[in-house]
Amino acid sequence: MSAEPAITARGLTRRFRGVVAVDHLALEVPRAQIYGFLGPNGSGKTTTIRMLCGLLAPSEGDALVLGFHVPRETTRLRERIGYMTQKFSLYEDLTVAENLEFLADVYALRRSDAGARIDALCAEYRLEKLRGRLAGTLSGGQKQRLALAGAVIHRPDLLFLDEPTSAVDPESRRDFWESLFRLADGGTTILVSTHYMDEAERCHGLAILDRGVLVASGSPRALMDALAGAIVEVESEELRDARGALEPLAGVLSVAQLGTRLRVLTDCAEPAREIQRALDTAGVRASARPAAPSLEDVFVSATRGRGVAA
């Protein structure tokens, strides 16, 4: 395993009829890591992934993926990458085993190897009992395990996962992430897009995308530490009034309700004290306390104020 990054993107840009979906994206993804793309719908996650595996031609810019030039050398790149699409894209009218056999043939796995490989994948992803089932009749979690098994059948060095857990229950999600960590331990680089904070937090590295622009990147810890601003939690019986008092305040970047509390992102010099004073002035009975920033705060701050630099 060389030390050069798995992915280096330079000025990657894609326009669709004048609309910029991805805007001069620069990116570096180290090897054998799980790297996350965090962003709301329409932020350019899928478009970026498609460009990186050669499904879409960039309008501008290029990338080096596993040492292959994208978009020039995508044909050779394809044998070394796996791609799990957002929508289930295996054949629903083929059985689990038939789908895997098809992929084994398509990736030209050695015949002596193919059977054993399919057996191993079925064991790893708990598909043994489902081998004869039509893929279309599987549950969300089962489909996802099959899709992952299919995406890694040729032991790719780099795996792209586009919102892999959007149709899956929490337990299957945890399960799925365990599988991803095992793959990364085995040396596979994984690029995963998500809009779930808890998933993003599991990644080694993270890029936050907003409207096609990379607004922040780094490890989740570093991103939280670098948050420009502070978090103040407000507890009150009169949350609506408290919110009304805080939102127009200069220095308050965002207010979000979390159960019986408000989470206030602010760039005031003395956050808790100034918030408390504002609440008192407005005659709202409430108590304000400083709190540790979460990834969601980073996300909100990055996508709204674009206030985090990394």
Partner 1 sequence: MNFWRRSLAVARKEVRQLRRDRFTAGMIVGLPAIQLMLFGYAINTDVRHLRAGVADQAGTQLSRRLVDDAQASQVIDIVARAETPQQLEAWLRDGTIAVGLAIPRDFERRLALRDRAPAQLLIDGSDPAVQQATRSLAGLPVAVRSVPRAAREQPTFELRAFYNPERRSAVQIVPGLIGVILTMTMVLFTAVAIVRERERGNLELLINTPVRTTELMLGKIAPYVVIGMVQTTLILLLGRLAFDVPVRGSLLDLYVASLVFVAASLSLGLLFSTLVSTQMQAFQLTFMSFLPQILMSGFMFPFDGMPRPARAFAELLPLTHFVRLVRGVILRGATLGELLHELWPLAAFFAVTVSVAIARFRKRLD
Among 1, 19, 41, 87, binds partner 1 (CB under 8 A): 87
Residue 251 CB, nearest approach to partner 1 (Å): 45
**Block residue for tokens 């596979």:** 188
What residues between 19 and 48 interact with partner 1 by CB under 8 A?
none
What are the backbone dihedrals phi and psi of residue 173, each rounded to the nearest 5 degrees, phi first? -65, -45
**Block residue for tokens 């590295």:** 205
Distance of CA 110 to the CA centre of its chain: 33
What residues between 94 and 133 interact with partner 1 by CB under 8 A?
94, 98, 102-103, 105-108
Q: Where are the beta strands (DSSP E) in 17-143?
A: 19-29, 34-38, 60-65, 68-70, 81-84
Should residue 57 be labelled a site residue for partner 1 when binding is judged by CB under 8 A? yes
Among 11, 72, 79, 258, binds partner 1 (CB under 8 A): 79
- Residues paired with 82 in a beta bridge: 159
Residue 121 CB, nearest approach to partner 1 (Å): 16
Q: Which stretch binds partner 1 (CB under 8 A): 87-95, 125-133, 244-252, 292-300?
A: 87-95
Among 8, 62, 88, 140, binds partner 1 (CB under 8 A): 88
Among 65, 70, 81, 245, binds partner 1 (CB under 8 A): 81
Q: Which stretch binds partner 1 (CB under 8 A): 33-41, 78-86, 238-246, 294-302?
A: 78-86
**Block residue for tokens 């990657």:** 12
3-state SS class at 294: coil
Nearest to partner 1 of 50, 117 (CB atom): 50
Nearest to partner 1 of 15, 195 (CB atom): 15
Among 11, 69, 72, 91, binds partner 1 (CB under 8 A): 91
Please state, in angstroms and as integers, the Cα–Cα distance from residue 229 to each residue in 149, 198, 257, 267, following that order: 43, 21, 18, 4
What string marks each residue from 195 to 234 as x (binds partner 1 by CB under 8 A) or -? ----------------------------------------
What string marks each residue from 139 to 178 as x (binds partner 1 by CB under 8 A) or -? -----------x----------------------------
Residue 49 CB, nearest approach to partner 1 (Å): 10
Q: What is the DSSP letter of 96?
A: H
Q: Report the distance separating Cα 49 and Cα 65, nearest Å.
A: 11
Q: Where are the beta strands (DSSP E) in the chain?
A: 7-16, 19-29, 34-38, 60-65, 68-70, 81-84, 158-162, 189-194, 205-210, 213-218, 230-236, 252-258, 261-266, 286-291
Nearest to partner 1 of 53, 288 (CB atom): 53
Please report, in angstroms and rounded to a whole number, the separation of the first and last CA atoms in the chain. 27
Q: Report the distance separating Cα 172 and Cα 164, nearest Å.
A: 11
Q: Where are the beta strands (DSSP E) in 85-168?
A: 158-162
Residues binding partner 1 (CB under 8 A): 50, 53-57, 75, 78-79, 81, 83, 85, 87-94, 98, 102-103, 105-108, 134, 150
